[in-house]
């Protein structure tokens, strides 16, 4: 279905997909499409996009704080050392999506992330595909936005070859949109103009 941008009660024109859900609108306005260069944050987003497969993103967004708590704030150094006992505990955690293959994939992906960090960094690996800068698209309706692209296929193959799990071309493209590697806000959305010039502020880690 071809869907154009929507004018909200606050007078701002936005992409149609967040609807009127305040959590989703805030995510659209402040996170989606804003370039992310932090190695750990990129790992977190890739993992959450993998968990989203077969579900809607708002479902994951509502559980995101639960995921962060359950997965040690997505610190790959800790996740790479998870044991069978920890996997069992995660499978019994009602606050997250309980999928054994995805949980085990998160651990394998953490191990791959650690290797990449030694070689120059996860952010560098990803942004090198973009020559360091976001690709700004000019879509007018959601029907024009692709589910995957030749570039997302290329990134997907690279990540798979390095041992990452749940990184198919569609998941990778959703990840690239969310982390600002591509700007897929519709041209009439107020974020289209602003987000590529931004840089995501680092998220403060919760106190231990």
pLDDT at position 4 over 60:
yes
Is 178 a residue whose pLDDT tops 50? yes
In angstroms, the CA 127 to CA 139 distance is: 22
Give the end-to-end CA distance of the chain in Å, rounded to a whole number. Answer: 46
CB contact set of 33 (below 8 Å; sequence gap of 6+): 177, 178, 180, 183, 184, 185, 191, 195, 196
Q: Are 180 and 201 in contact (CB under 8 A)?
A: no
pTM of the predicted model as reported, rounded to 2 decimal places: 0.93
Annotated binding-site members: 15, 28, 185, 189
- pLDDT over 90 for what percent of the chain? 89
pLDDT tens digit sequence for 91-104: 999 999 999 999 99
pLDDT bracket for residue 196 (50, 70, 90): low
pLDDT of 83 strictly over 80: yes
Does residue 207 have a pLDDT over 90?
Answer: no
Q: What is the dihedral of CA 35, 39, 40, 43, to 10 degrees?
A: 80
What is d(CA 132, CA 146) in angstroms, rounded to the nearest whole number?
Answer: 22
Listed in sequence order, the residues at least 6 apart from 16 whose beta carbon sits closer than 8 Å to its beta carbon are: 3, 4, 5, 6, 142
Instruction: Summarize the annotated binding site for Zn(2+) as residue ranges.
Output: 15, 28, 185, 189
Asked whether residue 205 carries a pLDDT value surpassing 80, the answer given is: no
pLDDT of residue 202: 65
Of 121, 182, 174, nearest in space to 148 by CA: 174
Chain segment 120-176, per-residue pLDDT in tens: 999 999 999 999 899 999 999 999 999 999 999 999 999 999 999 999 999 999 999
Q: Given the DSSP bridges, would you call strands 135-136 and 182-183 parallel, antiparallel or unpaired?
A: parallel
Domains parsed from the chain with CATH numbers = 6-197 (1.10.340.30)
């Amino acid at each position: 279905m071809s869907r154009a941008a929507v004018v909200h009660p606050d007078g701002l024109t936005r992409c149609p997909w967040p609807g009127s859900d305040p959590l989703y609108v805030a995510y659209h306005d402040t996170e989606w499409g804003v370039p992310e260069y932090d190695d750990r944050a990129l790992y977190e987003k890739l993992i959450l996009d993998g968990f989203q497969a077969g579900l809607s993103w708002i479902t994951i967004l509502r559980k995101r704080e639960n995921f962060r708590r359950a997965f040690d704030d997505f610190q790959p150094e800790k996740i790479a050392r998870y044991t069978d006992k920890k996997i069992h505990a995660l499978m019994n955690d009602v606050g997250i999506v309980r999928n054994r293959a995805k949980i085990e994939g998160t651990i394998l992906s953490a191990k791959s992330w650690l290797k990449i960090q030694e070689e120059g960094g996860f952010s560098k690996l990803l942004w090198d595909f973009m020559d360091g800068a976001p690709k700004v698209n000019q879509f007018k309706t959601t029907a024009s936005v692709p589910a995957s692209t030749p570039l997302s296929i290329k990134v997907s193959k690279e990540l798979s070859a390095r041992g990452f799990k749940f990184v198919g071309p569609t998941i990778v493209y959703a990840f690239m949109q969310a982390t600002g590697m591509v700007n897929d806000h519709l041209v009439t959305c107020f974020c289209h103009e602003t987000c590529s010039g931004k840089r995501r502020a680092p998220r403060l880690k919760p106190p231990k």
